[in-house]
Structure 1
Amino acid sequence: MAKRLLVMGAGGHGRAVADLAAECGWTVAGFTDRVTGASILGRDEDLTALAAAGAMDAAVVGVGNAALDRRAALFQLLKASGIVVATLVHPRAVLSRSCRLGEGVVVFAGGVLGSSVEVGDNAVVYSGVIAEHDCRIGAHAYLSPGVVLCGGVTIEAGAFLGARATVLPNLTVGKEAEVAAGAVVISDVPAGEMVMGVPARPRGGR
């Protein structure tokens, strides 16, 4: 019998995570969210009560890039509640045998994680992401579809990379920094900064 998974967040990303979970052999028990609706078992604050009632065997964060700070908070809530946090890897993702994943990581179809790549807790690796050898992806980081990380790149905790952003080898994208869709990063991005363009520059910069 398939194990039951609770997805925290019922928006677009949450539904994508639910589909991923089904591909990984889970039965999706339902969602928590701030609103009510079909398949929503309760609010996020009801997590402990749902666990006590035996509503699920594990849970995963399903909030997307519209609320990155909430993603981290929900993960901490899961850990504090003692609930098993699922890690989901699509069957059509390609992971090196030396790759290491933290708790709550989700890797969608077509993701490629190379030799000695490390992915921190609760990070998102969307469809078609390529992270080559020795990359370090921090906790709660969010890599949108088609992101390319060349070898030795460090993505620090909570950073966001938009669709098809590219980071050249051995660079660092700092904590909670943002890289816009399509940007090409050729130098380190400081913590909290947003960069865009080719080559990537701070927003409003030249």
Structure 2
Amino acid sequence: MKSKLLIIGASGHGKVVADIAMKMNRWQCIVFLDDDESIETSIGIDVIGTSDKVYEYLEEYEIFVGIGNNATRQKVYERLVTLNADIPVLIHPNAVVGEKVKIENGTVVMAGVVINSCTKVGKGCIINTGSSIDHDNYIEDYVHISPGAHLAGAVKVGNRSWLGIGSIVSNNLNISSDCKIGAGAVVISDITEAGTYIGVPVRRI
């Protein structure tokens, strides 16, 4: 385990990631890379270069992708994998993670989250503030569960899908990959095609 952490992305999501990393008290040094060269610091943490220089830090640093966009986060994560980077999991100390929960590398679990037993969360996911994921869920890779979203038991969410703030998913449902579920939307039946869904209950637009 390395004592230094490098976060790619110093904007909004990256700031929250860095705050969680600091609260974990695991790393002696935390820095950013960001492609906006006008940013020199973010929440008091130095930006030491652009993302194309990440290879220079592989030996000393664990590396985390602090980018909110699912597709971009996937692209950067997959590049890190080809470079054999050490990619951690970040879990806020105020999150509640149940027994037999598996969380893969590159995922961040934020403050106030509850993940109940026997759930699997894939790589590169964002489990955002105050959301809940009940038992036996399967969250695939590069998914974003927004603040205050709630998933009942035995839900499956496909790759790169995004569940908007305050959305609700009833139990025993499947949501396809590459879906966007709008803020406050309620999912009460399977979603089998990629697309954008809004409303109560949701409809495709």
TM (norm. structure 2) is: 0.92
| Distance (Å, rounded) in 2 between the aligned partners of 1:5 and 1:89 | 14
Counterpart code for 2:10: A
Counterpart code for 1:80: T
TM (norm. structure 1) is: 0.91
The yes-or-no answer on 1:131 pairing with 2:133 is yes
Question: Is the 1:21–1:28 Cα contact (8 Å) retained in structure 2?
Answer: no
Give the drift of 1:29: 2.6
The yes-or-no answer on 1:103 pairing with 2:105 is yes
**Which residue pairs with 1:10 in the alignment?**
10
Structure 2 unaligned spans of 5+ = 41-45
| Distance (Å, rounded) in 1 between the aligned partners of 2:29 and 2:139 | 27
**Which residue pairs with 2:36 in the alignment?**
35
Deviations 1:108-165 (A, max 9, x none): 0111111100000111101111111110001100011011000000011110011010
| Distance (Å, rounded) in 2 between the aligned partners of 1:174 and 1:31 | 33
Task: Give every structure 1 segment of 4 or more consecutive aligned residues whose post-TM-superposition deviation is greater than 6 Å.
Answer: none
Give the drift of 1:28: 4.8
**1:50 aligned to 57, 60, 65, which one?**
57
Structure 1 unaligned spans of 5+ = none
Give the drift of 1:43: 1.6
Q: Secondary structure at the residue paired with 1:5?
A: strand
Deviations 1:45-85 (A, max 9, x none): 11102335x4x2x0111001xx3211001111111111110
Matched residue pairs, number?
A: 197
Q: Secondary structure at the residue paired with 1:59?
A: strand
**Which residue pairs with 1:200 in the alignment?**
202
The yes-or-no answer on 1:60 pairing with 2:61 is no
